[in-house]
Structure 1
């Protein structure tokens, strides 16, 4: 009876421990390990990388994805892609002005009240590629392209996740049926079990994504001469989206370090005062 009880307990433990693995089957692969200059308490954004990342966003991503929380002036603020200390404010930055002026934005004529198009200014938002959600869905097979303003903060390991998605497109394994207009990506959150006709214990990781592979080698030419591989484009635009998600990151880190230094000095002074005041008092 004792042996039988032990066997049943072992079987129960095996079933219990196997359950999470079965539930995890078909889940997305963890993001690829990618090192960025802005990681860690002392990390800072690489301005050249941000400039390249902005160019990838401008020439590729902005065709479908909005950045509704971004203003052109943000590009010229401290820590931004086109920050230049010689300008008192980002609104005065010549590069930012030139970038904004390349866009046509909707406005109202102050005299006639008519809707007009005018060149953008640093005070304008990044324009949305679509006038409304139905138009966005109609142009993307029914899928709504997500806004990228805070995408790096909205996803676990955001920059690595973005990089992994952009570089992770693969041909679907044999036995996986991909619906028209969809694409297989092992780093995409989802569960492909319903579309899998192979062995139950070998469900491929990842999910389906409506966006086709957007990047390709040499698709974007970099002004600084950096080789434009798919991986480089993906890493640069992931860094740019990370900056857009937290443009005040460097200031936050500097403030945090200053606060830590202040608290350390305060604690040392407090301890020294305590020792001085109570040095002749028996404990």
Structure 2
């Protein structure tokens, strides 16, 4: 490989000056053309025609900031009373709420409100029973086809990991929920769709799901549209990343341990090993 590289360098160096200039110019033009084509491609992509969501100051956005668990609790209430009519969260079980937003007794009471088809029993028959902690959140529709029929052909996405599945995360979901407006002049939206500048294509099949006082929070927090959207986004962030707080605690412990370990390692390297590393071995032949 070294011989070939050396031969290539020698062959280029042996070229006449005018050929060197021509080859260099060709390389620069080719690279510039490729860069220009890439820039033009990026500038006309459909994604750049969308309205990108702004960045909001989430309380859990800092490197050492934990989730607001009171907001997670309110967000679950929003999901249960508003979102669960159309959207599933099939990867969340009731037991996941214990110690995060509710006590074990509260979650048991919530789970027992639903009826779960279980079985078969000893006679081979299916039966219904009250929900328990190990059950997953119920689905609003039995299958995707039924979901499409009930929503004019649109399939409501599962919300378990929606915050991680959408570019922009909580910012996108918050902007989408609060961004419904009248279409601008010259833009018509097909019947059954709604104009939302943050949604790809601007026409979304979901009707505006939240508004002021859409529900009454059990802790007395005023249920403004922005408060409802903020709480459900915090809940969805926890759902997509339940290890959020533990991950940041582990990071803090690692930083604290590194603050102790790194100076110690530096001391060992600089002082304890300096004597051994600076030794000079002299070979004296026998006389």
Same fold flag (TM > 0.5): yes
Matched, 1:221 2:216: yes
Query: CA offsets, 1:211-255, max 9 Å, x none?
Result: 010111111101111111111111110110111001111011111
Q: Which residue of 1 aligns with 2:252?
A: 257
1:27 to 34, 49, 67: 49
2:203 to 208, 223, 247: 208
Report the Cα offset of residue 43 of structure 1: 1.1
Unaligned runs of 5+ in 1: 1-11, 85-92, 191-206
Report the Cα offset of residue 279 of structure 1: 4.0
Query: SS where residue 38 of structure 1 aligns?
Result: coil
Report the Cα offset of residue 22 of structure 1: 4.6
RMSD (CA atoms)? 2.2
Describe the shift of the 1:252–1:28 C-alpha distance in structure 2 as closer, same or farther (beyond 3 A).
same
1:117 to 108, 124, 128: 128
Matched, 1:130 2:141: yes
Query: CA offsets, 1:150-182, max 9 Å, x none?
Result: 111111221111100000001111211211211
Report the Cα offset of residue 50 of structure 1: 1.0
Q: Which residue of 2 aligns with 1:163?
A: 174
Query: SS where residue 49 of structure 2 aligns?
Result: coil
Report the Cα offset of residue 26 of structure 1: 6.5
Describe the shift of the 1:182–1:254 C-alpha distance in structure 2 as closer, same or farther (beyond 3 A).
same
Q: Tell me whether 169-178 or 22-31 shows the greater mean CA deviation.
A: 22-31
Counterparts of 2:167 and 2:255, CA distance in 1: 27
Equivalent residues of 2:52, 2:198 under 8 A apart: yes
Counterparts of 2:242 and 2:47, CA distance in 1: 37
Query: SS where residue 216 of structure 1 aligns?
Result: coil
Unaligned runs of 5+ in 2: 1-32, 280-287
Describe the shift of the 1:106–1:25 C-alpha distance in structure 2 as closer, same or farther (beyond 3 A).
closer
2:85 to 22, 40, 63: 63
Q: Which has the higher contact order (CA 8 A, sep 6+)?
A: 1
Q: Which residue of 2 aligns with 1:94?
A: 105
Q: Which residue of 2 aligns with 1:50?
A: 72
Q: Which residue of 1 aligns with 2:95?
A: 73
Hey, which bits of structure 1, 4+ residues long, moved more than 3 A? 15-26, 278-283
> TM-score, with normalisation over the residues of structure 2?
0.79
Query: CA offsets, 1:37-83, max 9 Å, x none?
Result: 21121111112111111111000100000001000000114xx211x
Counterparts of 1:211 and 1:141, CA distance in 2: 10
